Amino acid sequence: DFDSRKKRKVAEIYQALNSDPIDVAALRRMAISEGGLLTDEIRCKVWPKLLNVNTDDLPPLPGKELREDNKDYQQVLLDVRRSLRRFPPGMPDDQREGLQEELIDIILHVLKRNPQLHYYQGYHDIVVTFLLVVGDRLATALVEKLSTHHLRDFMDPTMDNTKHILNYLMPIIDQVNPEVHDFMQSAEVGTIFALSWLITWFGHVLSDFRHVVRLYDFFLACHPLMPIYFAAVIVLYREQEVLDCECDMASVHHLLSQIPQDLPYETLISRAGDLFVQFPPSELAREAAQQQAERTAASTFKDFELASVQQRPDTVLRQRFRERPRGEERTKSILTKPRTNRFVKLAVMGLTVALGAAALAVVKSALEWAPKFELQIFP
């Protein structure tokens, strides 16, 4: 039953923590598998191991002097003041206000120590999750490591790298369900509906804190692009709602941006793991880069010429898309329902086996998924 499985998993987590050296691969599997890390007490012990943070050498608590002449202070202050719903309902005002002050200090401390990082609205939604789970001092160390690794692309001076990561969304959907992909393309909805999901790790859009920390378990144990795979499975899960929607940008964007709160999280986490194994980023990189290229002025000039003649650009572009050859036949029925054989189940439960050395490298060096990196692979 559930209680016995939970006790067994807790024992396995502590066994991995107490081994010498610590069995990080086992901790990753525990964080990914059903239920995640189960309690905040365990997260306080495991999250630092997933991020390779030494808890015996934590930085001192940031001081208030960080607020003086800090270019980000006013924006951070405004965002933190608007973050009331991110704190547990019923929390006394003085306790919440104290945590908000700590939240401001953590953010400013990380930015001060890492001048290459740039604050973005939504960053505080991630930081407050760590603050509520592990406390201010440990949160400062974890957030700093996370900001220079998993979140690095979101903290560039421009949104180019963030847009590039969003470009992976449609190729994933296309691999699994071409009908949904084509419908979204026809509606010209784009991917901006998923921006807040991605840059806050869903912290801004999910109201139940339990679901947020469960996803953080999953994302911390995985590749930096896993949040975009999870975004894709949410869209795919809502297939019928999407296809029943009016095929126009406003309608589809409104539907998708209103994320349901009663999602089957464990099922979707498992499916995101399936899709990562079946369609790793390396296989989608060319199409993601191509999506960026297709938006340039040079590549759309033929469309412009044709639309100028017929004076109906929306009709021309949609017609051109429908007539585009789809290439070889897809086995949609197979891809829509990811394989459930033993190999894939094992791959999902122990995703680091599939990632190999790359997963371990995530916590040691920044992974850059910038367009210029793609150009080096595909000259």
* Nearest residue to 288 via CA among 171, 191, 193: 171
Flag whether the pTM goes above 0.85. no
Q: Which domains does the chain have, with CATH numbers?
A: 1-148 (1.10.8.1310), 159-306 (1.10.472.80)
Confidence of residue 149 (pLDDT cuts 50, 70, 90): very high
> What long-range pairs does 354-361 form, CB within 8 A, spacing at least 24?
354/276, 354/277, 354/280, 355/222, 355/223, 358/223, 359/28, 359/222, 359/223, 360/24
Instruction: For residue 151, give both structure tokens.
Output: 């979140």
**Tens digits of per-residue pLDDT, 152-164?**
999 999 999 999 9
- For the chain, the distance separating the N- and C-terminal CA atoms, rounded to the nearest angstrom, is 55
Residue 17: exposure state from Cβ atoms within 10 A (0-12, 13-18, ≥19): middle
Residue 31: how many other CB atoms lie within 10 Å? 28
Lowest mean pLDDT among 228-232, 282-286, 326-330: 326-330
Instruction: Write out pLDDT tens, residues 267-280.
Output: 999 999 999 999 99
Nearest Cα neighbor of 317 from 249, 256, 251, 238 is: 249
Helical (H) or strand (E) element with 8: helix 2-18
Say if CB 43 and CB 213 are below 8 A apart. yes
**Residue 294's pLDDT band (cuts 50, 70, 90):** low
* pLDDT value of residue 57: 84
**What is residue 289's predicted lDDT score, i.e. its pLDDT?**
79
Cα torsion angle, 274, 277, 281, 284, sign: negative
Tell me the pLDDT band of 58, cut-offs 50, 70 and 90.
confident
User: Which residues have C-beta within 8 Å of that of residue 161, sequence separation ≥ 6?
Assistant: 153, 154, 368, 369, 370, 371
Render pLDDT for 296-343 as a digit per residue (tens, 0 to 9). Answer: 444 444 444 444 444 344 444 444 444 444 443 443 333 444 444 433
60 confidence band (pLDDT: 50, 70, 90): confident
pLDDT at position 362 over 60: no
Q: How far is CA 294 from the centre of its chain?
A: 24
Q: Using alpha carbons, list the distances in angstroms from residue 55 to 46, 140, 141.
A: 11, 11, 8
93-113 and 123-134 helices, crossing angle to 10°: 120
- Look at 378 and 327; give whichever has higher pLDDT: 327
